[in-house]
Amino acid sequence: MPNVICGQCLRYRPAFDATITLADYVAPLDTLMIRLKYHGALPFAREFGQRLGDALLEQAGDEAPLVVPVPLAPSRLAARGFNQAWELARVAARRARLPASARALHRERTTTAQRRLTRDARQRNLRNAFTASALVRGRRVVLVDDVMTTGATCDAAAAALKLAGATHVLAAVALRTPPSR
């Protein structure tokens, strides 16, 4: 994928330093992600995760970054039984031979589901929602999530990672909602 900065990132400078994404959130991939996220179709996590791992191998530098998933709120994790971002992250990390931790980033509070919120409402909803541990201090971090729409979740999570001392945050998402035409 070419190195480009989208118009949205030019207008609203996010806390993450760069983004990689596999594809747009369009048919048939959107259906696969919905099946993973809401119906527990974990084989799709393996497929998306392996492809993310391949993309991370292409980004490899001298220092092995720590792969960190966006955490779910405890209530959502209990209801769903798994964190789809962790399922993607652990497969991607294994594929790229990188360390991973599901404990480096914590969700401090339950937030409103983002699906129907505007960009500004998403940012307000996620303000101070995350904290990061000392595991990230002085390290490059790959922040993994399933879908990026406005970037608000990755922005809030990356801000927490940077506050805890991460030196660089790469947002790695399986699918990206295409910009409105």
pLDDT at position 127: 83
Task: Considering only residues 124 and 84, tell me which one the structure prediction assigns the higher pLDDT.
Answer: 84
pLDDT at position 2: 47
Interior angle at CA 165, CA 160 and CA 171, nearest 5: 55
The CB-side HSE value for 179 (13 A sphere, CA atoms) comes to 6
For 53-100, the pLDDT digits (tens) are: 999 998 877 789 999 999 999 999 999 999 999 999 999 999 999 999
7-176, what's its fold? Answer: Rossmann fold (3.40.50)
Contact 29, 175 (CB under 8 A): yes
For 106-118, the pLDDT digits (tens) are: 998 877 676 777 7
- Where are the domains positioned within the chain? 7-176
| Backbone φ and ψ of 14, nearest 5° | -75, 165
The CB-side HSE value for 26 (13 A sphere, CA atoms) comes to 6
Question: Is 70 exceeded by the pLDDT of residue 41?
Answer: yes
Q: Which token pair is 15? A: 């806390």
